[in-house]
Amino acid sequence: MGGLARQCEENGADVIELNFSCPNMMDEVLGSAIGQNPELVERFTAAARRGAKIPILAKLTPNVDAMSPAAEAAMRGGASGVSAINTIKSVMEINPHTYISSPAVHGMSAVGGYSGNVVRPIALRFISEMGRNPALSDMYISGMGGVETWVDALEFLLMGARSIQITTAVMQYGYRIIDDLKSGLNYYLKEKGIKNVREIVGEGLEFVSESTDALERDTIVYPKFDRNACIGCGRCEISCFDGGHQAIRLNENRRPILDLKRCVGCHLCVLVCPMEAILSSGKRVAKKNKKECYEELDSS
């Protein structure tokens, strides 16, 4: 490992990225098998560190519960930082006629790595986990997983990534999307008066907690209906009835009426409305005073 790292350096590499995360490696001590074992991450990183002075990034696997143990091990081994995420183990597209999942070789498929825009929320969760970890506060994070646009890249920066990598979107659309991403991000920074992109790294971390226990649960916010924008499709009524709290009925013009006693403020109706005619900005009420509030609102 050290010899390979030395050769990379001697042949002009600026950075070495150690792949502790590919889920498709055949050997038991390659790829994600290393990333899932912090002790191996530390040992392999230390071996590479002995061979080279250039920055070393440990590329970590999302096929774990938490990424911090492997990231902390990489730092102990002498890594300059981490890259995350690699692909997520998955099975997909099971053919209803042949029962064979995809991609297949001679009718046989295998668990493989999933990537692209659907994995972005999972990637952001891991980046934010490491970004919030005080033991990793000095660690360099190179973020990836489903980045396609400048808005996606911005999300990674706000969660603590200091650089962005893209694989799947380049395979789909070509390198051109990186020019678009850079110009979109530059335009955003200029609009916001932000001189250097470094200023926004990690700025979103204080607004995300690992646990929902940190969220306030003493009040609820009623949805607010914009009846002029409503087209009477009834999706809010169906979703609330079948998947929520049966708190919406439609009037004779197919416009929603909220039952304040039943509504728990889940805002499923806001999510499903195709016209954005239901807003999350209705009256906030304390749960313990809910009865008085709906009596007051009902009569108003």
Ligand X SMILES: Cc1cc2nc3c(=O)[nH]c(=O)nc-3n(C[C@H](O)[C@H](O)[C@H](O)COP(=O)(O)O)c2cc1C
Report the candidate in 128, 136, 133 with the shortest Cα–Cα distance to residue 201.
128
Residues 45-64 that bind ligand X (CB under 6 A): 59
Q: Does 90 bind ligand X (CB under 6 A)?
A: no
Work out the widest C-alpha separation in the chain, in whole angstroms: 79
Whose Cβ is closer to ligand X: residue 4's or residue 266's?
Answer: 4
Tokens 């395979």 belong to: 171
Residues 22-41 that bind ligand X (CB under 6 A): 22
CB neighbour burial string for 169-207, b if at least 16 within 10 angstroms, e if fewer: beeeeeeebbeebeeebeebbeeeeeeebeebbbebeee
Whose Cβ is closer to ligand X: residue 82's or residue 144's?
Answer: 144
Q: Is 178 helix (H, G, I), strand (E, B) or coil?
A: helix
Residues 112-171 that bind ligand X (CB under 6 A): 115-116, 119, 144-147, 166-169
Q: How many residues bind ligand X (CB under 6 A)?
A: 17
Whose Cβ is closer to ligand X: residue 75's or residue 144's?
Answer: 144
Residues 195-234: x where in contact with ligand X by CB under 6 A, - otherwise, as a string: ----------------------------------------
Whose Cβ is closer to ligand X: residue 80's or residue 86's?
Answer: 86
**Least distance to ligand X from the beta carbon of 32, Å?**
10
Whether 22 is catalytic: yes
Q: Is 109 helix (H, G, I), strand (E, B) or coil?
A: strand
Specify whether the CB–CB gap between 86 and 32 falls below 8 A: yes
- Cα atoms found within 13 Å of the Cα of residue 108, Cβ hemisphere only: 1
Residues noted as catalytic: 22
Residues that bind ligand X (CB under 6 A): 19, 21-22, 59, 86-87, 115-116, 119, 144-147, 166-169
